[in-house]
Amino acid sequence: MLSLGDAIFGLGLPALVGIVLLLVGRKQLDTAVQQPIFWRYTAGGPAVFAIGIAFLLGCSALNRTPSLPPKDATDWLYLAAMAMLPLAAIHQFVWRSRWFWHVACLLILAGAIGGIISLLPVETWTVAQKIIWAGGCWLAAAAVTLGLSFLPSGSNDPSNGVVTGITAMALVSALGAVALAMSGSQVYGQVAAILPATLIPVVLLAFALRTTFQLPDVAPLFVLLFGGMLLSGYLFAELTAVNALLLFFSPLMLWVGRIPAIRNLNGWQRGAIQILAVLIPSGIAFGLALHKFLIDMAAAPEF
Amino acid sequence: MRFRDLFFIVLSGLLVVLAQNNAQAQTYTIDPVHSAALYRAGHMGMSHSWGRFNEISGTVTVDEQNQANDAFDITINAASIDSGAGKRDEHLRSPDFLNAKQFPTITFKSTSVKPIDAKTLEVTGTLTLHGVSKPLTVKVEKVGGGKSQMGGTTIGMESTFQIKRSDFDMKNMLQAIPDDVLLIVSLEAGNK
């Protein structure tokens, strides 16, 4: 159960961190380039730090700081997020190389996935099975990371695909956190809720302050934290494979914005269709988890 | 004395020695149907909540001549927890508590046994729960034993002890479900 302290420090504090970093770190768009109609600022780098630092603070507030060696799946995610932040700093301030950022993040993803799968007991998982699973999960994570990072967007478009992208991330992560909490582990649900607790205020503020985001910067960390929690929920809690896959791949539905008939629509219309496309699979997953949860609760009360 | 007589004398002597050695330490296999592992946990300071683990296995070694040679090797399937409510069992198996998919077994392996009196043993060993191993000393009561109707010999033992779940890294919901958990392990073991 979420205590008042958990809600304030585990969710409220990450939200505050996200807001502060967005306000402090956003940069005015270059007026030498064609001025966007709607957007005035950009905040790709701050969004990475906001999500990463907020996650670390939220985990610490929920007493989920990792032990060494890591003994829990969330320990691996914590350490991987810690590893990603210095790389984000290098990427933002020293070497603005997209390939460096993605290669480094994919390596960290591999480490985190391998670490989570290494926790599976030897009594029921052979080494070969673990390797195959780790490889498959990494490929899926790489596909979603690159799929989100290379999503085209028009910077002079009022809706701006990248804001649609981060909005989709916020909504999907919220649905995922609730689905996780209903799938046997309240702790995993609480940890997963740190992500939407950070993203939702950031997205709302972004619209209010006309700030857009660089999705390639944000995507790897989102995939690490959101995908990592879904993997943990499937392996160690009762999140079903169907729900995990629907939630994890739903952000790729943003690519419907590239369909010619939709691409030619007004920016806000296109953004709305993209969000709806993302919400369909994630909503189905949420609905399935809710349905099972309600049936189980009707059968017998919880604690 | 003929060679044949000498042979039979030596053979008889060997058989007697072997019989004595066998009588010193007998290993009994735990009968899961007639054994039980129960737990009692508090519920919000209002009542106690009872449950059991349905799958228990292992061996008990008994040395009638020297009880210090007794040994206990018990394994419980963590996922077999049964509190009488399916959703609660799912929660108890989750990473919030036992994390049964990551730590599928609860084990106790004795390292030393000290007889207290004719019916009681003090058993020291290592309890491994939730991936954490801690030394544990418990008093074990010898309930009974004898020839089994199924053949072989059966023994019965029981122990009641308390642990703190936070000692085993289970620190979730300590306000709702207190740290102290009472455990009752009742074993019936046989050999054939």
pLDDT value of position B34: 94
pLDDT value of position A156: 43
Residue in A186, A236, A296 closest to B99 by CB: A236
Name the residue in chain B with its Cα closest to that of A294: B87
pLDDT at B148 over 60: yes
pLDDT at B168 over 90: yes
Name the residue in chain A with its Cα closest to that of B101: A236
Confidence of residue B5 (pLDDT cuts 50, 70, 90): confident
Question: Chain B interface, mutation test: which of A234, A236, A296, most B Cβ atoms within 10 Å?
Answer: A236
List Cβ<8 Å contacts ≥24 apart for B174-182: B175/A3, B176/A1, B176/A303, B176/B43, B176/B44, B177/A303, B177/B41, B177/B42, B177/B43, B177/B44, B177/B49, B178/B41, B178/B42, B178/B45, B180/B42, B181/B39, B181/B40, B181/B41, B182/B39, B182/B40, B182/B41
pLDDT in tens, A217-237: 889 999 999 999 999 999 999
Count CB pairs under 8 A between chains A and B. 72
Residue where the block lists tokens 């956003």: A26
Name the pTM for this structure.
0.88
Between β-strands B120-129 and A211-212, what pairing exists: parallel, antiparallel or unpaired?
unpaired
Please, which residues have CB within 8 angstroms of residue B183's CB and are 6 or more apart in sequence? B37, B38, B39, B40, B160, B161, B162, B163
Residue in B84, B91, B105 closest to A184 by CB: B91
- Distance between A10 CA and the closest CA of chain B, angstroms: 15
| Residue B31: CB atoms within 10 Å | 17
- Cβ contact (<8 Å) for B176 and A1? yes
Tens-digit pLDDT profile for chain A (303 aa)? 567 777 777 788 888 888 888 787 777 665 555 445 566 677 667 788 888 999 999 999 887 788 889 999 999 999 999 999 999 999 888 888 888 999 999 999 999 999 999 999 998 999 999 999 999 999 999 999 999 988 876 544 544 545 788 899 999 999 999 999 999 899 999 999 999 999 998 888 888 887 777 777 889 999 999 999 999 999 999 999 999 999 999 999 999 988 999 888 887 888 899 999 999 999 999 999 999 999 888 876 554
Residue in B43, B94, B176 closest to A237 by CB: B94
- Cβ contact (<8 Å) for A123 and B104? yes
Q: Are A141 and A109 in contact (CB under 8 A)?
A: yes
In chain B, which residues have their Cβ closer than 8 Å to the Cβ of A71? Answer: 131, 169
- Distance between B133 CA and the closest CA of chain A, angstroms: 13
Please provide residue A237's backbone torsions phi and psi, each rounded to the nearest 5 degrees: -110, -150
pLDDT in tens, B106-133: 999 999 999 999 999 999 999 999 999 9
Dist. CA B162–CA B148, nearest whole Å: 32
Name the percent of chain B lying above pLDDT 70.
94
Task: Provide the ipTM.
Answer: 0.86
pLDDT value of position A164: 84
Residue in A120, A121, A237 closest to B95 by CB: A237
